[in-house]
Structure 1
Amino acid sequence: MSESRIKIPRPVPRADRVDPLEQPASTSPRLRGRMGTVALVLTVMAYLAPLTAAAGYLPLVIGYGNGLGAPVTFLLLGALFALFAVGFLALVRHIPKPGAFYAYISEGLGKRIGLGAGALTLVFYFFAMVSTYIFAGVQIQAMVQRDFGVDLQWWVWSAVICVFVGACSYRAIDFSARLVGIVVCIEVAVILIFDVATLAKGGAEGISAEPFTWTSISSGSIAVAVLFSVGILGGFESTAIYRDEVRDPDRTIPRATYAVIAILTIFSSVATYCIIIALGPSNAVAMASEDPSGTFTGVTQTMVGSFFTQVVSVVLITSILACLLSVTNVATRYIHSFSVDGVFPEKLGSVHPRHGSPHKASLATNAVVFASIVVFAVSEIDPQVAYGVLGGVGNFAFQTLIILVSIAVIFYFRRTPGTGQSAWRVVVAPALSAILFVGLIVNGATHVELLLGEPTPLTTIGFAVLIVSFVGGLGYASFLAVRRPNSYARLGRSKG
C-alpha cells in the first residue's frame, strides 16, 4: 500500500470530555428576558409581599417598637437603605455580572470571601423560602378549615404550593413577572382602599399628627422597631440578580432599586399611620401588642367592612404565593451562577432553549424546598415556631451581607482608579452604611428574643447553618485555589 494513501486519524476531543472551565467565556449559558423597570419593580415587590407585611409585621413595629412613632421609623430605615444603595449601584454599573452579592463581594473582597458570602446568600434565600412555605401552609389550613370545614395538615398545602411555584419558576422570567405583577397590583389596591377609607372616616379618634411628634418618635424602642422593619424593606437588592433578563440593565436596575425603596418606604409609613389612626392613638400601642396577628384584619373590618376583610384573607394567600415565586426565582439564579462558575454541577447552569430560564436550577431549588417541607412535617416542629425562627435568623444573614457589600464597594473602587465616581458614592456612603448596619446587628443580638422568641434547638441549628455555609464557601474556594486554579478563576462570575 502506498505511503501517500495512508491516513493517520487525528484525535478529536469528545464534547463530554471538555472541561467547561477551560472554554471561552462566550460559551457560558446566559439567561434571557425582556423585563423593563416596571416589571422588575413588581417582581421585587412581590418578593417583599406588601400585604403580608401589612398584616404580619406593621402591628409588631407599633406594638413592640417605638409605638406611635412607627411611621417615622420606616422613613428612617428607607433612608438607610437608600444610603446603602448609593455604593451598591455603583458596583452594579461597574461590574456587569448577574451574580449580585456573590459577584460584587468577590470583586471587592476576593474570591474566597465572595464564595463564602455567596453560600451565605443562598442559605438566606432558602431560609426565606422554607419559612414562607410553612407560613403559607398554616394560613391556608386555617382559611380552608374556617370557610369549608376541611382540616388538612399545613404541610399538605405547602407541598401543593411548591409544585405550583416550581412549574411557574421553570418558565421564562417574563411569565413570572406578569403573574406576580397582577398580584402585587391587587395587594397595593387593597391596602390603598384601607388607607383611603381610614383617612376619610378619621379612624377611632380622628386624624392626628401625634405620630410625627418627637415625643412619639422617641417613645418605646426605635432599635426594636428597626429590628422588625428590616425584613419588610429588605429584598430590594434582588434587582441585580436579573441583570441578564432586563432591558438596558445599567439604567433599569438602578431605577428599579430606588423605586422599590421609595415605594415601600412611603407605602409602609402611610399604612402604619393609618393602622394607628384606625385604632386611635390612645389605644393603638396596647391593641397592636395584644393581638399583632389580628390587628390588620380587625381594622379593615372596622374601616371598610366584613366583606372586604374576607377579600383581604384571599388576597393575603395570593400575596404569599407571589412572594414564593419571586424568592424562588432569585434563589434559582444564585444556583445558576454557582453552576456556571463550576461550584455546583455544570448541568444546573444550563438554560432552557425556549424559555431562556435556568430550568434545571429551578428543579433543583424546588426539590430541596420540597424535601425541607417533608423534614419539618416529619419532625413535628411547631410550624408557628419554625417560620418565625427561620425568618428571624435569615434577618441576621441579610444584614451581614449588606455590611460585606458596603465594605466591598470601598475596596473595589480603591483598587480601580479612574472610574469617575465621587468619594460620596464609593467611600462615605458605603462606610456609613457598614457602620450603621453593624449597629443594627449588635442591637439585634441584644434583643434576639423579641425577633426569634424563646431559644429552641432550631434557633441554634439555624445560626450554625449560616456559619457553616460561610466558612464552607470560604474553605472550598481556598481548596479550588490550590487544587483547581481554573475553577478558582471562574468564581464570582469572572467569566461568562
Structure 2
Amino acid sequence: MHHSKADTVATVLARGRLGIPSVVFFVIAAAAPLTVIAGGATTGYAVTGVRGIPVSYLIVGAVLALFAVGYVAMSRRIVNAGAFYTYVTHGLGRPAGVAAAMVALLAYNAMQIGLYGGFGAVLAQFLQSQYGWNVAWWVCALAAWAVVAVLGLLRIDLNGKVLAAMLVGECAVALIFDAGMVGNPAGGTVTFDTLDPSHLVAAGIGAALVTAITGFVGFEGTVVFSEETKDPHRTVARATYIAVATTGLLYGLSAWAMSVATGPDMIVDAARADGTELVFNLVSPYLGASVVTIGRVLFITSLFAALLSFHHTVARYLFALGRERVLPAALGRTSHRTGAPKIGSIIQSSLAIAVLIGYAVAGADPVVHLFFWVTVTGGLGVLVLMTVTSAAVVGFFARIRPSEGPWRCTITPMIATLALAAILAITVREFDTLLGVAPQSPLRWLFPAAYVAAALVGTVWAHILRATKPDIYQAVGLGAESATASLRSSNAIRQPA
C-alpha cells in the first residue's frame, strides 16, 4: 500500500505533547473540583438528606483507586485514545467493545452538553448580581460554546495550559474556603460526625454514593490522551493515581468542612435552604467580599474547564472509532497543523449547539432539565463503563498470563468490579431520588434505558460489520495499527476474540 505523508499525518494524533502535569490538569478539570464542592456536595446533602456525604466521597475514592490498579496495568499494554471502548474490546470481545463505544459516546456527550446548562445559568446569575446585566442563560452558554469550539481545534498542549491556570486557581480557593469554614466551626467546636463510617448503612446512602461517584467522572480520561503523551506507560499510570487521590481528598475535606461550619445536625437543612450558594455564604463573614467574588468567578471557570475537557474526550472517542472505520472514516482524520481530531471536534460542537438551541426555544429550565438531569445521566453511563471495563480487565489478563502477579491483574480488578456493580445496582434502584422525580415517573427508567438502547445498537452494528466487512471487524480495538490488522492476526494480545 502506498500512502502520502499527508494521509499518514492526518490519521495520527499529535504525539509527545503532554506530560504528567498536563494530563492531570485535563482529567481533574473534567471532574471540576469547585463545581463538585459548591454544587455536587451541597446537592448531595440536600437531595439525599444524608449527613455522610464526606465519607461517601472517601469510600468512592477508595473504590476507584482499586479500579485504577487494573485500569493502569492494562494501559501499559494497550495505548489507544478509545480508552473504555478499546479495553472492553480486548477483554470481552469486539461486540461488547462496540457496544461500550456507543455507551461512551452517549455518556460523555451528556456530561459535556449538560454542563452548558449549569455554566449558562451560573454566569447569567453572576452578571446580574455583580453588574445588573440581565443576560439570558443561553447567551452565556453559546458564548462558552464558541470558545470551546475554537479551542477544540487547537493544539492539545495549549488547551492543557488553559486548563492548568483555571484548575490551580479553583483548587487554591477551595482550600482557602475549607480553612475559613474549619477555622470558624458552629458552636466553637470542630466535629467529625460526618466522617463516621456508620453513615454508610444509613437510609439513602445509595443516592449519596452515586452523587459522590458523579464527582469523579473525568479521572478515567487519562487513557483517552495516552497517544498524545510523552511516555504513555508512565504518564497514564501516575496521572490516574494523582487524579483519584487529589479529587477524593479534596471532595471529602470540603464536604466535611461545610458540615463543620454549619454543625453536622444542620448541614442538610442549610444545603436545602442555600443550594449552591451555601459554601459562599458560609465563608463570606470571614474571608471578605473580594475573596468570595474570586471564588464565584472560579466556580464559573470550573464549569468551563469541565466543558473543554469533556469536549476533547468526545472528539477523541469519535477519532478512535473513525480511525478503525467502525464509524465513518472521516472521523479518523486530524488537523495537519495542530494534530487535533478536527472532524470529531466539529461533530461534537454541532451536536452541542443543536441541543442548546432546542432547550432555548423550548424554554426549558437550564439547571434542572439540562445541567442536573443530563449530567446525572451522563454519570450513570460512565459508571456502567467503569463496571464493564473492570470486568474486561479481569478477562484480558486471564487470557495472557501476565507477569505483574494476581493481585494487580486479577484480585484487585475483581474486587473493583463487584464494588462498582453494587453501586450501579443501587444507582438504578434510586435513580428517581437522584433526578428528584416521583418513584412512578417514567423518567427514572427512560434515562437508564437510553444506555441499554445504545449498547444494543453497538452490538448489532458489530455483528453487521462481522458479516459484511470482516476486515473492519478484525481491526476493532487496534487503534493506530488498525490499517495493518490483516498482518497481525497471529498476535493474541492485540487481536481480541
TM over 0.5: yes
**Could you tell me how far apart the structure 2 residues matched to 1:469 and 1:370 are?**
22
AA in 2 matched with 1:409: V
Instruction: State the partner residue of 1:132.
Output: 115
Instruction: State the partner residue of 2:256.
Output: 273
Structure 1 residues 214 and 474, CA gap change in structure 2 (3 angstroms): closer
Question: How many residues are aligned here?
Answer: 477
SS in 1 for 2:294: helix
Give the one of 397, 406, 416 matched to 2:381.
397
Between 1:370-379 and 1:452-461, the stretch displaced more is: 452-461
Offset from partner CA, 1:62-108 (integer Å, 9 cap, x none): 34557443322222111100111111111111223231001100111
**Could you tell me how far apart the structure 2 residues matched to 1:75 and 1:58 are?**
13
Instruction: State the partner residue of 2:35.
Output: 52
Give the one of 255, 262, 285 matched to 1:302.
285
AA in 2 matched with 1:264: T
Within the alignment, does 1:321 sit opposite 2:301 as a pair? no
SS in 1 for 2:215: helix
Residue 203 of structure 1 and its aligned partner are, at CA, apart by: 4.8
**Could you tell me how far apart the structure 1 residues matched to 2:89 and 2:199 are?**
43
**Could you tell me how far apart the structure 2 residues matched to 1:199 and 1:85 are?**
31
* Correspondence list, 1:359-374, <5 A: 359-374=342-357
Within the alignment, does 1:469 sit opposite 2:469 as a pair? no
Residue 478 of structure 1 and its aligned partner are, at CA, apart by: 0.7
Structure 1 residues 308 and 446, CA gap change in structure 2 (3 angstroms): same
- RMSD, aligned CA: 2.4
* Correspondence list, 1:61-460, <5 A: 61-65=44-48, 67-213=50-196, 219=202, 221-386=204-369, 387-417=371-401, 419-454=402-437
**Could you tell me how far apart the structure 1 residues matched to 2:172 and 2:2 are?**
57
2:192–2:256 contact (8 Å) kept in structure 1: no
SS in 2 for 1:401: helix
AA in 1 matched with 2:378: G
**Could you tell me how far apart the structure 1 residues matched to 2:389 and 2:140 are?**
37
Residue 292 of structure 1 and its aligned partner are, at CA, apart by: 2.9
Offset from partner CA, 1:440-463 (integer Å, 9 cap, x none): 122112221221121667666543
Identity %: 26
**Could you tell me how far apart the structure 2 residues matched to 1:216 and 1:483 are?**
54
AA in 1 matched with 2:266: N
2:315–2:348 contact (8 Å) kept in structure 1: yes
2:185–2:263 contact (8 Å) kept in structure 1: no
Instruction: State the partner residue of 2:492.
Output: none
Structure 1 residues 206 and 251, CA gap change in structure 2 (3 angstroms): same
**Could you tell me how far apart the structure 1 residues matched to 2:2 and 2:67 are?**
48
**Could you tell me how far apart the structure 1 residues matched to 2:299 and 2:125 are?**
13
Between 1:220-229 and 1:59-68, the stretch displaced more is: 59-68
Structure 1 residues 27 and 278, CA gap change in structure 2 (3 angstroms): closer
Between 1:450-459 and 1:173-182, the stretch displaced more is: 450-459
SS in 2 for 1:32: coil
Residue 477 of structure 1 and its aligned partner are, at CA, apart by: 1.0
Structure 1 residues 285 and 385, CA gap change in structure 2 (3 angstroms): closer
1:211–1:217 contact (8 Å) kept in structure 2: no
1:69–1:218 contact (8 Å) kept in structure 2: no
Give the one of 464, 467, 471 matched to 1:479.
464
Residue 295 of structure 1 and its aligned partner are, at CA, apart by: 1.3
Residue 223 of structure 1 and its aligned partner are, at CA, apart by: 2.3
**Could you tell me how far apart the structure 2 residues matched to 1:210 and 1:458 are?**
35
**Could you tell me how far apart the structure 2 residues matched to 1:412 and 1:59 are?**
39
Offset from partner CA, 1:365-398 (integer Å, 9 cap, x none): 1111111111222233222322211112222211
1:99–1:493 contact (8 Å) kept in structure 2: no
**Could you tell me how far apart the structure 1 residues matched to 2:252 and 2:49 are?**
13
1:337–1:493 contact (8 Å) kept in structure 2: no
**Could you tell me how far apart the structure 2 residues matched to 1:401 and 1:149 are?**
44
Structure 1 residues 458 and 167, CA gap change in structure 2 (3 angstroms): farther
**Could you tell me how far apart the structure 1 residues matched to 2:2 and 2:197 are?**
72
Structure 1 residues 363 and 459, CA gap change in structure 2 (3 angstroms): farther
